[in-house]
Amino acid sequence: MLAYSGGLDTSVMIKWLQEKYNAEVITATVNVGQPEDLAEVEEKANNLGVLKHYSIDAKEEFATDYIFPAIKANALYEGKYPISTTLSRPLIVAKMAEIAEKEGATALAHGCTGKGNDQVRFDISIGALAPDLKIIAPVREWNMTRDEEIEYAKVHGIPVSTASKKYSIDQSIWGRSIECGVLEDASKEPPEDAFEWTTAPEKAPNTPEYVTIEFEAGVPVALNNEALAPLSLIEKLNKTAGKHGVGRIDHIEDRMVGIKSREIYECPAATVVIDAHKDLEKMVMTRHEVLFKQQIDAQWTFLAYAGLWLDPLREDLEAFINKSQENVNGKVRVKLYKGGLHIVGRSSPMSLYDQNLVNYNIKTSFNQAYSEGFIQLWGLQTRMHNILKRKAKEQKTKSGA
């Protein structure tokens, strides 16, 4: 049973498994937003001699059961990456495990390298969902370079696209990752041909565009007052934000295997939605909730990134996260312009922001006289420390004299 993308790695893998293991290979493509045509991918797999191929459209499930929990958790690995590739892995493994059991497969294979994070996600998830099956990771075993893979493909009559020769691309509805080639030089700006979803900021429209995102219980339910299903909302916002050059991410990322890597992503919808969600949380949650939840969010994100989606701790953390989202209802207005996004307005029926308390120009229920006593108590220990510090310094000076 092979997780098949239709790309270079997994196409080479079919022939390699057939040759090395004399295996009958069943392939499955789980569509979470890849650009490839599923019919063409299936035809390619069949032309390479697979026993059977499965095409599974899982975009709706991916949006509802994986992306929406990530929004609630403000999932940004190391503060930048919306874990777009990460989130799809446990879903792909779950679908593979179902088919493997149905077909009586003896092993599950994936196309992850020995240098990346995906091998961790696939292996742990397979071990949790299909513990009796052998895990085969051909790329880890054959240790081919990309050029060697391309040569192997030519020898075996496997079609190689122009894109495969230049970049390694992984795409889902939540984001697009671009790796390899010139991008590995972390000092150089990514060439414009690496991007597909986002307009170069300098070529983006000269007029800003405003979008309003409505949230209910922490998840987006409407865009510009139009109620939309999860998948439709994400796809529409990807196009709108991408048109304005929003969502480009270029950062140095710490992989699980200890390597620091230069990563390029395009995540227009994810960038906008998570920023808007965090802003709305600050309006409706207490300071204590916000600060504590930041720790929970970071731990949830790390578990997902590190391949531990199926660890019980993720569900434990989600129990808190889901409870915290009960009042995260409201609208956030975002300005998109030349690669930037700016939160310019927010409103909520559960808002803790009270204009009457904030306003300096009108009489309010806020009794300013209370502040003096509060300040005395709030700074008590700080003052005591510095008084004692000063006395000790004076005593030391006298002793020295």
Active site residues: 9, 89, 118, 168
Residue 312: C-alpha distances to residues 44, 163, 324 (Å): 39, 39, 19
Backbone angles phi, psi at 24, to 5 degrees: -85, 120
Q: How far apart are CA 101 and CA 97, in angstroms?
A: 6
Residue 129: C-alpha distances to residues 25, 165, 264, 285, 308 (Å): 20, 34, 31, 37, 12
Q: How far apart are CA 170 and CA 159, in angstroms?
A: 18
Radius of gyration of the chain (CA): 26
Distance of CA 296 to the CA centre of its chain: 16
Residue 84: C-alpha distances to residues 254, 269, 271 (Å): 16, 11, 11
Residue 218: C-alpha distances to residues 74, 97, 275, 313, 330 (Å): 10, 31, 12, 21, 9
Q: Where are the beta strands (DSSP E) in 290-329?
A: none
Residues sharing a CB contact under 8 Å with residue 174, sequence separation 6 or more, in sequence order? 33, 62, 67, 70, 82, 84, 87, 88, 234, 267, 269, 270
Q: How far apart are CA 360 and CA 270, in angstroms?
A: 37
Q: How far apart are CA 135 and CA 315, in angstroms?
A: 26
Residue labelled with tokens 């979803």: 197
Residues sharing a CB contact under 8 Å with residue 166, sequence separation 6 or more, in sequence order? 180, 181, 193
Coil, helix or strand for 351? coil
Name the residue type at position 358: V
Nearest C-alpha neighbor of 125 from the set 89, 162, 163, 165: 89
